[in-house]
Amino acid sequence: DTGVSQNPRHKITKRGQNVTFRCDPISEHNRLYWYRQTLGQGPEFLTYFQNEAQLEKSRLLSDRFSAERPKGSFSTLEIQRTEQGDSAMYLCASSPVGGQLLTEAFFGQGTRLTVV
Amino acid sequence: AQTVTQSQPEMSVQEAETVTLSCTYDTSESDYYLFWYKQPPSRQMILVIRQEAYKQQNATENRFSVNFQKAAKSFSLKISDSQLGDAAMYFCACDNAGNMLTFGGGTRLMVKP
């Protein structure tokens, strides 16, 4: 296992279409995070899972966004009816933390979404 | 809510010289962690250095060190003996709940040969 893997690396979609991204965390990392990063800005937290449970969601995560992590392994982030404002880099990260202590979060290379 | 501010959008340093990147933060929590992450162009973000707020001693990792001023809520990163490979976006981040990172807007570091 060489790190957090995200697919696809790039996605171009027409406005109104649905898209789905996948994240494969580092094996045995029980926490998985999704962040969104727009050009020239720092990443913004979207949601996180501990094992298969989605424990927190940001207000940035509108009803058009849904994330899942079946069986506590890989995760998917789906955006329905995409809008141009959804264009961004979507970053996934994982960490081995199990309690309140945050250890190092390992990031994937991200999926760059362009909505045209 | 917590906020992280990086007031330097861009910084430039001559190779082998030292540069300091600034970061201020605001949090109501007494127990939190601070981080500096490096994001090279088209590559994933990697952790540079981490500081636990309850530790008074400043963290050091090889050429990277921090100046943590808790009362001033300041967390600057010093890079010594700058190398061409240090060129990247640098993000300061804070975590106080163990649940998520709050990032600053980033500082683009350029290293001149």
Average pLDDT, chain B: 93
Q: In the 8-state DSSP scheme, what is residue A81?
A: S
If we measure between CA atoms, which residue out of B103, B83, B78 comes closest to residue B91?
B103
For chain B, give the percent of residues with pLDDT over 70.
97
Residue B105: is its pLDDT beyond 70? Answer: yes
Widest CA span of chain A, in angstroms? 41
pLDDT digits (tens, 9 = 90+) for B38-62: 999 878 899 999 998 888 899 999 9
**Confidence tier at B98 by pLDDT (50, 70, 90):** low
A116 part of contact set with chain B, CB < 8 Å: no
Q: What angle do CA A23, B105, A55 make, to 5 degrees?
A: 40
Residues of B whose CB is below 8 A from A4: 44
Chain-chain contact of B100 with A33 (C-beta, under 8 angstroms): yes
SS3 A30: coil
Residue A30: is its pLDDT beyond 80? Answer: yes
Average pLDDT, chain A: 91
pLDDT digits (tens, 9 = 90+) for A48-68: 999 999 998 998 888 999 999
B64 part of contact set with chain A, CB < 8 Å: no
A3 → chain B, closest CA residue? B44
A101 part of contact set with chain B, CB < 8 Å: yes
Chain-chain contact of B50 with A3 (C-beta, under 8 angstroms): no
Q: In the 8-state DSSP scheme, what is residue A69?
A: -
Which two tokens mark A89?
Answer: 């880099």
Interface test with A, best of B46, B101, B102 (most A CBs within 10 A): B101
If we measure between CA atoms, which residue out of A58, A46, A2, A61 comes closest to residue A27?
A2
In contact, A47 and A56? CB cutoff 8 Å: yes
Please tell me the predicted confidence (pLDDT) of residue A60. 85
In contact, A115 and A100? CB cutoff 8 Å: no
Distance CA B94, CA B97 (A): 10
Cβ neighbour number for residue A6 with a 10 Å cutoff: 24
pLDDT digits (tens, 9 = 90+) for B2-48: 899 999 999 999 999 999 999 999 998 888 899 999 999 878 899 99
Residue A77: is its pLDDT beyond 80? Answer: yes
A100 part of contact set with chain B, CB < 8 Å: yes
**Confidence tier at A100 by pLDDT (50, 70, 90):** very low
Which two tokens mark A79?
Answer: 């955006």
Choose between B66 and A1: higher pLDDT. Answer: B66
Which two tokens mark B19?
Answer: 């540069």
If we measure between CA atoms, which residue out of A30, A90, A39, A31 comes closest to residue A60?
A90
Chain-chain contact of A102 with B105 (C-beta, under 8 angstroms): no
Pairing of strands B10-14, B107-112: parallel
* Mean pLDDT, range B70-77, rounded to an integer: 96
Widest CA span of chain B, in angstroms? 42
Q: Which of A45, A55, A107 sits opposite B44 (nearest CB)?
A: A107
Q: What angle do CA B32, B22, B34 make, to 5 degrees?
A: 15
Residues of A whose CB is below 8 A from B44: 3-4, 107-110
A33 part of contact set with chain B, CB < 8 Å: yes
Secondary structure tally for chain A: helices H, strands E: 0, 11
Please tell me the predicted confidence (pLDDT) of residue B50. 92
